[in-house]
Amino acid sequence: MTDVEQLEATWEIKDVLAVNNMTERFGCAPTSRQIHVLVVVPRKSELGWQSARLRPHIYDPGAKYFLLEKEVMDDSGLPPSRLMLYCRPMFHKQIEFMLKNVLEEGHLGWILGSPGTGKSATAMAFALTVDRRAWVVTWIHVDKYLGWRCVRLVGDERKTRVIDITELKQVLEFGDDTKHHLVLVDDWTAADSFTDLTVMCTEWFLQKDIVMKRRLAFICSVADRGKISDNLELMTRAMECKLWSWTLDEYLEATSNDDIFNNVFPYLDASGLSSADRSTIVQTKYHYAGGSCRYMFCFSTARVMEKLSHAVDSLDVASVAITGPRSSLSLNCVFAMFKGTSGVSTVLHVVSGYAAATIGIRCSPEIIKRFMNTNQGSSNPVLNGWMLEMIFFSSIREGSLDMVDAAGNKTGNWMKGTLVVSDGVPSLPADRHIWIKPEKWNKGGYDAIMVDKGKRQVQMVQVTSSHTHAFHINYFNSWLKPLSESRESFKIQALDIIFVVESGKLKDFVISTVTGQGKLKSFGWEPFKEKDRVKVVGIRRREDGTLSQMGANAFQLHGITMRSC
């Protein structure tokens, strides 16, 4: 090959061939009448990488915790900080799926779950434990608005760089034909901006190597990847791994580890009491974060409320009815996936109690119907309680609400009224009643207060789906006392405390613990007999389990009988 710098502008191809003794090889030389074109192919430039040493990591199927050091999180698209993972059952399920179904059997893997399930962190843990003597692991964290963070694990080396779609082919075809290649695409969605990425990765995966293996898995930021052609499913031998969202028990178990608890403590701020016991701190934040460990461990309570409020305000019938868990990321955070009644199936559910109550307060009856149709099949009383709150607040805002006893007989009703969200004492009109929902959550107190200043009546309501519930009088008195000292004060002639319970649990419902006896004496409640004054009312489920249109003569919603006004 003649160096391009040695060529003279007047040279013809025959001259080059002669100089390099190539005439004999080609059999003849071009004539002078022929047009000669010299094509100089530029050398392919290699991608530049930042490189660092990487220590070995081992996966233990029986481990309870897995440490991701800061240096393995940097430049990966994941939070650049040290992360101690609690190895809940879903952690091991995902690791075993990626090891057996993806790495060993060669299926195209799809890791699915609602935001905050822990899919990405678990996938990174898996990537670190792959045998790098035989495998090269390429991690690509995609983003709609930023460059894609690429991490390559080769032997004892960790390489990083930012790439885009023009460099993807070169990343996939990295040129080492002595090792197998595993590619993990993190934070994938079915967005149009990732179409080329999906096509290129899938085409690369489908190429057959005689000796070396190609493996591919998408770690999705959504619970459902959308409609996929049957032909593509068969060609790629695709398999899904659906992961359930976090439960309260898993949060409690995770935070029993001092390292984890101390690391996430700044975000467990919902109770406002730094001196509260660990269980109370976690349970209070759970009301807001629900099944999302990202909300639980990575965001303050105020930020979680802001994000969920924005998402709920963005809800519309089309998004819930048509796209559901595949909706935009702002809507996607309203959903979570939990274990169904069979213990194997998955049920799509609203993510938290705060989200459910916010939907009940702000959304239309049509939206509530859509959620009712979607959020079914759970045996978890906590999830049922969230739905009950959603229904309750929607009911008192949009229509009148009947209370029933264990036999289904009507025992009273609440009329439609204005709903105010406040932890204090709002302005109380004298000519009509209003409903007050506390902004802060406390596990032992009330969920709503009905105040009729004109009739001098107060009703404090606790909604529960459990068989038992504690009665902490201090929580109720903590609102009544400020009322009596405020400018809105009036002499309460009728104070009722009402527990709203599912009809199936009404007969056996028990008030388990009573504390703060005597605090309601000034309101006419005899000390140590408060438990006898509490009203327990049932709710009954309509057979079809759905909502009727507002404006119908009457309908029932999860057992609460509603009538249009």
Residue range 469-523, pLDDT digits in tens: 999 999 999 999 999 999 999 999 999 999 998 877 888 899 999 999 999 999 9
- Check whether residue 512 and residue 547 sit in a common domain: yes
Domain termination residue (choose one: 393, 424, 459): 393
In the chain, how many domains are there? 4
Least reliable range by pLDDT among 56-65, 77-86, 463-472: 463-472
CA angle, 138 as apex, 134 and 139 as ends, to 5°? 140
**pLDDT above 90 covers what percent of the chain?**
56
Residue 541 has a pLDDT of 40
Least reliable range by pLDDT among 142-156, 265-279, 492-506, 545-559: 545-559
- Check whether residue 553 and residue 411 sit in a common domain: yes
- Check whether residue 31 and residue 81 sit in a common domain: no
pLDDT tens, position by position, 391-419: 888 888 877 778 888 888 888 888 888 99
What integer is the mean pLDDT of 453-457? Answer: 95
- Domain membership of residue 347 (yes or no) is yes
**Assigned token pair, 129:** 């434990």
pLDDT tens, position by position, 95-115: 999 999 999 999 999 999 999
Residue 543 has a pLDDT of 37
Residue 551 has a pLDDT of 31
Helix, strand, coil fractions of the chain, as percent rounded to 5: 35, 25, 40
- Check whether residue 406 and residue 514 sit in a common domain: yes
- Domain membership of residue 4 (yes or no) is yes
- Domain membership of residue 538 (yes or no) is yes
- Check whether residue 372 and residue 433 sit in a common domain: no
- Check whether residue 457 and residue 520 sit in a common domain: yes
Q: Which of 385, 331, 393, 404 is nearest to 368 (CA)?
A: 393
Distance CA 377, CA 367 (A): 19
Residue 345 has a pLDDT of 73
- Check whether residue 306 and residue 433 sit in a common domain: no
* Band (276; pLDDT cuts 50, 70, 90): confident
Q: What are phi and psi of 367, to 5 degrees?
A: -65, -45
- Domain membership of residue 48 (yes or no) is no
More confident residue, 502 or 342: 502
Structural domain for 155, as ranges: 53-242
Distance CA 2, CA 12 (A): 13
Domain termination residue (choose one: 200, 224, 242): 242
- Check whether residue 164 and residue 307 sit in a common domain: no
Residue 560 has a pLDDT of 36
Whether 174 and 136 have beta carbons less than 8 Å apart is answered as: yes
Q: Which of 182, 186, 166, 97 is nearest to 134 (CA)?
A: 182
- Residue 8 pLDDT exceeds 80: no
* Band (467; pLDDT cuts 50, 70, 90): confident
* Band (550; pLDDT cuts 50, 70, 90): very low
Q: What are phi and psi of 183, to 5 degrees?
A: -115, 130
- Check whether residue 37 and residue 74 sit in a common domain: no
What integer is the mean pLDDT of 296-310? Answer: 95
State the average pLDDT for the chain: 84
What integer is the mean pLDDT of 143-166? Answer: 95
What integer is the mean pLDDT of 337-363? Answer: 83
- Residue 565 pLDDT exceeds 80: no
- Residue 556 pLDDT exceeds 60: no
- Domain membership of residue 15 (yes or no) is yes
Q: What is the DSSP string of 191-218?
A: -GGGHHHHHHHHHHHHSPPSSS-EEEEE
What integer is the mean pLDDT of 130-134? Answer: 95
Domain termination residue (choose one: 199, 221, 242): 242
- Domain membership of residue 564 (yes or no) is no
Look up the CATH number of the domain holding residue 89.
3.40.50
**pLDDT above 70 covers what percent of the chain?**
81
Query: pTM for the full model?
Result: 0.82
Whether 290 and 334 have beta carbons less than 8 Å apart is answered as: no
Give the CA distances from residue 290 to residues 52, 263, 286, 351, in Å, rounded to whole numbers and listed in that order.
Answer: 38, 19, 5, 5
More confident residue, 487 or 382: 487
pLDDT tens, position by position, 230-244: 888 899 999 999 999
- Domain membership of residue 8 (yes or no) is yes
CA angle, 392 as apex, 452 and 304 as ends, to 5°? 105
- Check whether residue 69 and residue 213 sit in a common domain: yes
- Domain membership of residue 307 (yes or no) is yes
Residue 20 has a pLDDT of 60
What integer is the mean pLDDT of 343-349? Answer: 75
**Assigned token pair, 14:** 């025959």
- Check whether residue 92 and residue 234 sit in a common domain: yes
- Residue 377 pLDDT exceeds 90: no
- Check whether residue 67 and residue 163 sit in a common domain: yes
Distance CA 318, CA 324 (A): 9
